[in-house]
């Protein structure tokens, strides 16, 4: 923390600020400047409370935090990348580009089994499908709940795919954890702190989607909640943010992937389906995800998108998904080379 005093602050005022800083358990590292004194502060404590208290003092010009407000998820805390190992030997954040695919919602046994078999054949290793759906309208389909989870289990047993599915409430964490290999936190719940804390204690990997109006810092702070409560297995997901642009459902912040890779050791995946809202745009953004160094993709694909209960317009047909996977192969080969080169330099 750095505290800048107002010009010509008196010795007594400087001392009163130092005293306040010490009251919060911090140490004064250095006091510099004559006209405008700047106080360097080090130590561990409640930074937010200390900053607010100092800024409330008349003689203080500005109090600023220097280190990142998130600790466990930052690169400073851990230099090596986090690799998350789940069912079927799937590793997220490792040497394989991981593709998670499936319908937006679990709708029926036939629909989820057909999706699972097809996406597995095309090379996906994780099946997606929502059993609890966060819908903007309370009158829209809310998901099949536990019945949907049971169908996901069936598909997992039949194909060997791992399962990623959304959990919307802390009350449902124990139930969803019985079926899911990765617990998905949806964009609308990124700052549901009760849910994040419970997921911190649940022991299953978590995929945290970026809130539609959230900054990268806020996304990392939400991840910090989960890690600080005991669960280091967090995957971050860029899924587009809300901007003035209307040509796409959301605006894909493709730069978020390399930005996150600079700031955190956690794996990062991209969701080109929610980021665009249009199936025709999904392959291009998937290529972009590989190129910018994402650890994987989560893509919506459906046996018959025209009949999908949710997100049909952005869901690929299963044969389109297959073609996209084939087209991605060359890009993924380059991705692997880049990963190996990176590993060799660490
Ligand atoms: C979803 O994955 O189907 C979903 C609802 O995503 P998001 O939370 O990103 O809107
Ligand atoms: Mn969806």
Q: What is the pLDDT of residues 22-31, one digit of tens each?
A: 999 998 877 8
Q: Which ligand is nearest to the CA of 134?
A: 1
What spacing in Å lies between the alpha carbon of 186 and ligand 1's midpoint? 5
**Residues lying with their CB under 5 A of ligand 2, a single-atom ion:** 104, 311
What spacing in Å lies between the alpha carbon of 239 and ligand 1's midpoint? 8
Please state, in angstroms and rounded to a whole number, the distance separating the CA atoms of residues 243 and 253: 10
Atom of ligand 1 nearest to the CA of 186: 8
pLDDT (0 to 100) of residue 346: 61
pTM: 0.90
What spacing in Å lies between the alpha carbon of 53 and ligand 1's midpoint? 39
Q: Say what angle helices 256-263 and 216-228 make with each other, to 10 degrees.
A: 40
Per residue in 131-181, pLDDT (tens digit) is 999 999 999 999 999 999 999 999 999 999 999 999 999 999 999 999 999
Instruction: Kindly tell me if the per-residue pLDDT of 319 is higher than 70.
Output: yes
Summary mean pLDDT of the chain: 95
Which residues have C-beta atoms less than 6 Å from ligand 1? 104, 130, 134, 186-188, 209, 239, 274
Q: Say what angle helices 109-122 and 318-345 make with each other, to 10 degrees.
A: 50
Which H or E run includes 48?
helix 47-55
Instruction: Kindly tell me if the per-residue pLDDT of 36 is higher than 90.
Output: no
Averaged over 55-63, what is the pLDDT? 95
* Token pair for 280: 């025709």
**Ligand 1, pocket-test mutation among 238, 269, 271, 272, most atoms within 8 A of CB:** 271
What spacing in Å lies between the alpha carbon of 144 and ligand 1's midpoint? 16
Averaged over 309-330, what is the pLDDT? 98
What spacing in Å lies between the alpha carbon of 54 and ligand 1's midpoint? 41
Answer with the residue of higher pLDDT: 33 or 256: 256
Q: Which ligand is nearest to the CA of 129?
A: 1
Averaged over 57-63, what is the pLDDT? 95
Residue with the two structure tokens 């795919």: 161
**Ligand 1, pocket-test mutation among 127, 168, 190, 239, most atoms within 8 A of CB:** 239
Residue whose CA is at the smallest distance from ligand 1 atom 10: 187
Q: How many CB atoms lie within 10 A of CB 114?
A: 17
Q: Which ligand is nearest to the CA of 309?
A: 2
Per residue in 178-207, pLDDT (tens digit) is 999 999 999 999 999 999 999 999 989 999
Per residue in 204-244, pLDDT (tens digit) is 999 999 999 999 999 999 999 999 999 999 999 999 999 99
| Residue 301 contacts residue 327 (beta carbons within 8 Å) | no
Taking every pair of Cα atoms in the chain, the longest distance, rounded to a whole number of angstroms, is 77
Atom of ligand 1 nearest to the CA of 105: 3
- Rg (C-alpha) for the chain, rounded Å, is 23
- Residues 188, 269, 193: CA angle, nearest 5 degrees: 35
Per residue in 250-308, pLDDT (tens digit) is 999 999 999 999 999 999 999 999 999 999 999 999 999 999 999 999 999 999 999 99
Residue 105 carries which DSSP code? B
* Token pair for 199: 């997921």
pLDDT (0 to 100) of residue 108: 98
What spacing in Å lies between the alpha carbon of 273 and ligand 2's midpoint? 8
Atom of ligand 1 nearest to the CA of 311: 3
| Residue 119 contacts residue 298 (beta carbons within 8 Å) | no
Tell me the pairing of strands 38-42 and 182-185.
unpaired
Residue 135 carries which DSSP code? -
Cα dihedral sign, 186-191-195-197: positive
What spacing in Å lies between the alpha carbon of 79 and ligand 2's midpoint? 34
Q: Which ligand is nearest to the CA of 271?
A: 1
Cα dihedral sign, 107-101-186-93: positive
Q: Say what angle helices 193-200 and 216-228 make with each other, to 10 degrees.
A: 40
Nearest one of 196, 246, 200, 199 to 219, comparing CA atoms = 196
| Residue 166 contacts residue 142 (beta carbons within 8 Å) | no
Residue whose CA is at the smallest distance from ligand 1 atom 1: 104
Q: How many CB atoms lie within 10 A of CB 135?
A: 14
What spacing in Å lies between the alpha carbon of 132 and ligand 1's midpoint? 11
Q: How far lies 106's CA from each of 39, 127, 146, 177, in Å?
A: 57, 11, 11, 17
Please state, in angstroms and rounded to a whole number, the distance separating the CA atoms of residues 237 and 258: 12
3-state secondary structure of 136: coil
């Amino acid at each position: 923390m750095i505290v800048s005093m107002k010009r010509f602050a008196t010795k007594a005022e400087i001392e009163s600020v130092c005293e306040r800083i010490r009251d919060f358990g911090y140490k004064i590292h250095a006091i510099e400047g004559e006209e405008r004194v700047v106080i360097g502060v080090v130590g561990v404590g409640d930074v937010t409370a200390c900053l607010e208290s100092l800024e409330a003092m008349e003689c203080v010009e500005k109090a600023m935090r220097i280190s990142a407000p998130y600790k466990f998820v930052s690169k400073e805390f851990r230099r090596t990348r986090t690799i998350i190992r789940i069912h079927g030997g799937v590793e997220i954040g490792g040497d394989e580009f991981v593709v998670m695919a499936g319908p937006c919602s679990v709708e029926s046994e036939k629909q989820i089994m057909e999706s699972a078999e097809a996406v597995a054949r095309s090379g996906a290793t994780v099946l997606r499908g929502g059993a609890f759906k966060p819908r903007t309208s309370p009158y829209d389909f809310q998901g099949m709940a536990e019945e949907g989870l049971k169908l996901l289990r069936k598909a997992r047993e039949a194909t060997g795919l791992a399962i990623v599915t959304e959990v919307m409430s802390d009350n449902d964490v124990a139930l969803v954890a019985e079926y899911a290999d990765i617990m998905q936190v949806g964009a609308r719940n990124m700052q549901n702190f009760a849910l994040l804390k419970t997921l911190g204690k649940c022991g299953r990997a978590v995929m945290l989607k970026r809130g539609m109006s959230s900054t990268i810092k806020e996304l990392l702070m939400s991840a910090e909640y989960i890690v600080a409560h005991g669960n280091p297995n967090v995957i971050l997901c860029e899924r587009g943010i809300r901007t003035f642009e209307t040509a796409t459902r959301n605006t894909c912040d493709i730069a978020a992937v390399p930005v996150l890779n600079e700031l955190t050791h956690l794996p990062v995946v991209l969701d080109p389906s929610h980021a665009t809202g249009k199936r025709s745009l999904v392959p291009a953004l998937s290529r972009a995800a590989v190129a910018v160094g994402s650890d994987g993709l989560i893509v919506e694909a459906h046996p018959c998108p025209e009949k999908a209960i949710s997100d049909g317009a952005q869901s690929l047909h299963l044969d389109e998904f297959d073609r996209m996977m084939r087209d991605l192969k060359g890009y993924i080969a380059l991705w692997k080379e880049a990963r190996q080169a990176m590993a060799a330099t660490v």
